[in-house]
Chain A
Amino acid sequence: MALLQISEPGMSTKPHEHRLAAGIDLGTTNSLVATVRSGVPATLTDAEGDYLLPSVVRYLSSGEAIVGSRARQAAADDPYNTIASIKRLMGRGREDVTTLAGRMPYHFVDEENTVPRIHTAAGDFTAMQVSADILRVLKQRAEDSLGGDLSGVVITVPAYFDDAQRQATKDAATLAGLNVFRLLNEPTAAAVAYGLDKGAEGIVAVYDLGGGTFDISILRLNKGVFEVLSTGGDSALGGDDFDHALAEWMIEQLGVTDTSDPKLMRRILNAAHEAKLALSDSLETRISVELADGERRELSVSREQLNKLIDPLINKTVMACRRALRDADVTAGEVLDVVMVGGSTRVPRVRERISEFFGRPALVDIDPDQVVAIGAAIQADILAGNKPDEEMLLLDVIPLSLGIETMGGLTEKIIPRNTTIPVARAQEFTTFKDGQTAMSIHVVQGEREVVDECRSLARFTLREIPPMVAGAARIRVTFQVDADGLLNVEAREETSGVSANVEVKPSYGLTDSEIEHMLMDSMAHARDDMQARALREQQVEADRVIEAIQAALHKDGGELLSTDERGLIESARDNLIERRNGSDIGAIKEAIKAVESASEEYVARRMNKSVQSMMAGHKVEEFE
């Protein structure tokens, strides 16, 4: 018979209508799936009892995809068909791949302006497809464990993932046949796993040290909502570097001079890895390595020695923590809880140093490999509707401001960063020129005032705006960000109802450090940006005046002005054109005034003329 689980009071489901849900941690190195059963969240294991699924896919010429440890074991023998660390390519464009590809051995299919594809024995695959193969295995595992189909999942993504990377993750899930309730930031999931969302409001630091990546996130819990205040880290620092540091020390101790033998180096690295793990439980361990000449050598290593070797690496993470705190504008003393995530936080020295830095013991009770998946499972369980009266409605925030480009290359922020999602905001814009029938909308992401310094997300054009004088059209631009942080922008001309919209699709990506840079830059350049903004605004105003006077002169300048009068206006205009291209805001302002005063009389005559022409053919009485 079916195996039953215990539900919350009054929340049991009808047979065949179980609301089965799972949380998925789709990681760079390993992926996990977790679920809540009988009220208890836990990760699910495969038939061998392993909960970690290595995020490695090997493609065979038969078309079969092998996922997990079997694929990882084959990585050395079949490097071109065995894809690892695919998460680094999610939502990335060609340019990004060129920079990342140096570190990846794969053959990228050479083609223009498409999502990059990796050539394997089974065909060409995008990062999204490779991720979908990993997700399929996790889906199968969850459905075998729960005895039914999943109604939905929550998938975690790094806090710094941009729209394109989030969309790629969502697309991968769809491809794997999963219904995504929502995407959740990894540090937020870790905090949820510890129940911090139900605790005191305040600052939480999430320290995530994995095998090859390090992330620090500073969150603020405010009215049940986690805001990401800042993120930082190093995408090329992790526990693997600890292994390398220890291996180098061993090479020295063993007197190995020839380091070109890859098999020997691999043996030493493996031994270093084992020793590191052993030293998490004991103060001293013995290492045994077979050298190139077949001789087996033994070596003793203490935890103290390991600490000395890895301290410089831990220092780097501490510095990143300090930077993240500064970005978030909080002090270490304000941090209420420090959550440890990632297998490398098992190293006692890491716990010690980080607890010391934040001045409080770090939270380590939940297995640091599983904590993110567990948080995701808790969230999925709630979203599936298994909890009475919405125990928590966890919200997220957008990491970088979203806006559009306005005249003069300025950024108009429509949704500021750290706004909770889902959110919809609208703002009205208008046309710049008489008779303008189209408007190009450039959607950007970032904190800088100048568009060139922000990241371009999408461009689209609103056409068929009815011709009107400049400033008469009312174009409403609506930004909508759904619960997964995905953006839809709509532009609509209110008088005619014409509209156009765009959904942000994968195109380019940002590296985590780039996001950090963008945030840092915006602070460092705040003053310059303000200055630049003021100048651009004045230049736009100048352009508008020049445009208007040109149009007027062209239309009736000859008729209404004497040559002298016209000359005065034109020289004021030429002076303005010259000033406009300079950078003196005051001078531009004055030149605008000069044009306005020079053309005062002309403007009055034009008014009279248009009144006359309007009244021509009508009797005076009609206007009374």
Chain B
Amino acid sequence: MAISLTEKAANHIQGFLDQRGKGIGLRLAVKTSGCSGMAYVMEFVDELEEGDEVFEDRGIKVIIDPKSLVYLDGTEIDFAKEGLNEGFKFSNPNEKDRCGCGESFTV
């Protein structure tokens, strides 16, 4: 089981954590909602919850709850700019289909 970050993504996450001044890492999760079934969640983590799995890539701790891990295994996180917009992108091999907006997906 693994989660990976691109260098760009890792740099941005580290930058955000530094500016925030606290937090042990980044939580990735999958919520069951949205137009196509599931949606990605990214949150800062101040404390671990029971059952959390902690991965580390490029110095960043990535924290995932066991339920979400099933859907996220093998995912790579990248940071991208599209026009004026910028943010994180998920490449998830488990993903089968997405809604038009790309905010939610099915497996």
Interface residues of A (CB under 8 A from B): 1-12, 14-16, 37-40, 44-47, 141, 144-147
A398–B41 alpha-carbon span in the complex (Å): 41
Q: How far is the CA of A478 from the CA of B15 in the complex (A)?
A: 50
**Given known A-B contacts A6-B13, A11-B43, A1 and B102 have beta carbons under 8 A apart:** yes
Task: Judge whether A4 and B87 touch: CB under 8 Å.
Answer: yes
Establish whether residues A5 and B87, one from each chain, have CB atoms under 8 Å apart when the complex forms: yes
Q: In whole angstroms, what is the CA distance A436 to B58 when docked? A: 82
Bound CA span A7–B42, Å: 6
Residue among A2, A6, A47 making CB contact with B26, cutoff 8 Å? A6
Contact A39 B20, beta carbon cutoff 8 Å:
yes
Contacts of A39 in B (CB 8 A): 16, 19-20, 44
Is the Cβ of A15 less than 8 Å from the Cβ of B33?
Answer: yes
**Bound: A16/B104 CA distance, A:** 9
Check A3 against B80 for contact (C-beta < 8 Å). Answer: yes
In the complex, residue of chain B having the shortest beta-carbon distance to the beta carbon of A1 = B102
A91 to B82, CA, bound (A): 39
Q: Are B89 and A4 in contact (CB under 8 A)?
A: yes
Tell whether B40 is near chain A: CB-to-CB under 8 Å: yes
What range describes how many residues of B lie at the interface? 35 or more
Name the contact of B35 in the complex, choosing from A15, A44, A144, A147 (C-beta under 8 A): A15
Binding site of B, secondary structure by majority: helix, strand, loop or mixed?
Answer: strand
Q: B15, B44, B85: which contacts A144 (Cβ < 8 A)?
A: B85
Complex Cα gap A519–B3 (Å): 63
- Our count of residue pairs bridging A and B at CB distance below 8 angstroms stands at 94
Beyond A3-B87, A37-B86, 8 additional contacts (C-beta under 8 Å) are: A1-B103, A3-B85, A12-B42, A14-B31, A39-B19, A40-B16, A47-B84, A147-B87
- The interface residues of chain B lying within 8 Å CB-to-CB of A10 are 43
State whether the Cβ of B54 lies closer than 8 Å to any Cβ in chain A. Answer: no
Give a binary string over B39-56; 1 marks a CB under 8 Å from any A CB, 0 the rest: 111111110000000000
Q: Binary interface profile of B, 77-107, with partner A (CB < 8 Å = 1, else 0)?
A: 0001011111111100000001101111000
Distance of A7 Cα from B23 Cα, bound (Å): 12
B59 in the interface, Cβ–Cβ < 8 Å?
Answer: no
Known: A1-B98, A16-B101. A6 touches B85 (CB 8 A): no
Whether A40 pairs with B39 at a CB distance below 8 angstroms is no
Chain A residue nearest in CB terms to B81:
A3
Q: Which of A3, A12, A45 contacts B89 (CB 8 A)?
A: A3
Residues of A within 8 A of B104 (CB): 15
CA distance A40 to B18 in the complex (A): 10
Which of A4, A12, A46 is B31 in contact with, Cβ under 8 Å?
A: A12
| A10 to B43 alpha-carbon distance, docked (Å) | 7
A145 CB contacts on chain B under 8 angstroms: 84-86
